[in-house]
Amino acid sequence: MDVQTYLSRIGIVATSQPDVSFLRHLQKRHLLSVPFENLDISLGRPIRLFLPDMYDKLVNRRRGGFCYELNALFDWLLRECGYSTTLISARVRKPDGRFNPEFDHLALLVHLDQPYLVDVGFGDSCREPLPLDGTEVEDISGRYRVIADGEKPGGYLFQKELENEWLTQYQFTTIPRELHQFASMCEYHQTSPESTFTQKTVCTIATPTGRITLTKEHLTVTKNGHQQKVPIVSEEQFHDQLRRHFDIHL
């Protein structure tokens, strides 16, 4: 990995001390610079858990990706910058309250004065590292926390406050994982008709004032809590908006 090229990709000039402050800066800049997108899945282009390929896609070709790509590559960058990290498996909560299988989502723990949950691959989510002690963190995308899972010893719940209620986004444990362990679920999300990633094409990125999200149906611009939706009526318009807002040329 060329660390400086990666840092330039996310708008950072140079490395700093591997502390919480720089970690916070890295995470925020990554979310503001690298979109969450599943465009390759909709195009039938296989995604493999091979770090050099991910680096070429996200850094050299200035694309985005989904959790397995975004968090795995960010983990590599963090380690190159001197951080101690762990890959962890998370299970995303379904609308009916059940949870998806193990390895459904890849996230990170970064070990400093205490462990922090770090996630640059969950779309519209927390922009800062989250300690595991219930501390609430608020940014323009919402209020978040991580609490112990009372129903699962050693487990934790990542939650977002919605309408004055804490809603679990996913559950996880601190068990260290290896990247290859996510291969089966990575393949599932690319190929199964039951996967949300095969059902809908999306490209979304955080902005300083909110978020820009593009699907085949709409361009949604969220700014300071206000949403504006523009219908997408053709493939040509979709690709035009993809270039204009994400600088992605397929």
Residue 117 CA, distance from chain mean position? 12
202 pLDDT band (50/70/90 cuts)? very high
CATH topology of domain 3-197: Arylamine N-acetyltransferase fold (3.30.2140)
Q: What is the domain partition of the chain in residue ranges?
A: 3-197, 198-246
Would you say residue 172 has pLDDT above 90?
yes
180 pLDDT band (50/70/90 cuts)? very high
User: In this predicted model, what pLDDT tens digit does every residue of 13-72 receive, in sequence order?
Assistant: 988 899 999 999 999 999 999 999 999 999 999 999 999 999 999 999 999 999 999 999
154 pLDDT band (50/70/90 cuts)? confident
pLDDT of residue 153: 85
pTM: 0.94
Percent of the chain with pLDDT over 70: 100
Would you say residue 242 has pLDDT above 90?
yes
**Hey, what's the torsion of the CAs at 220, 222, 223, 224, to 10 degrees?**
160
Would you say residue 225 has pLDDT above 90?
no
pLDDT of residue 150: 85
Alpha helices in 200-247 (DSSP H): 235-246
Helix, strand, coil share of the chain (percent; to 5): 30, 30, 35
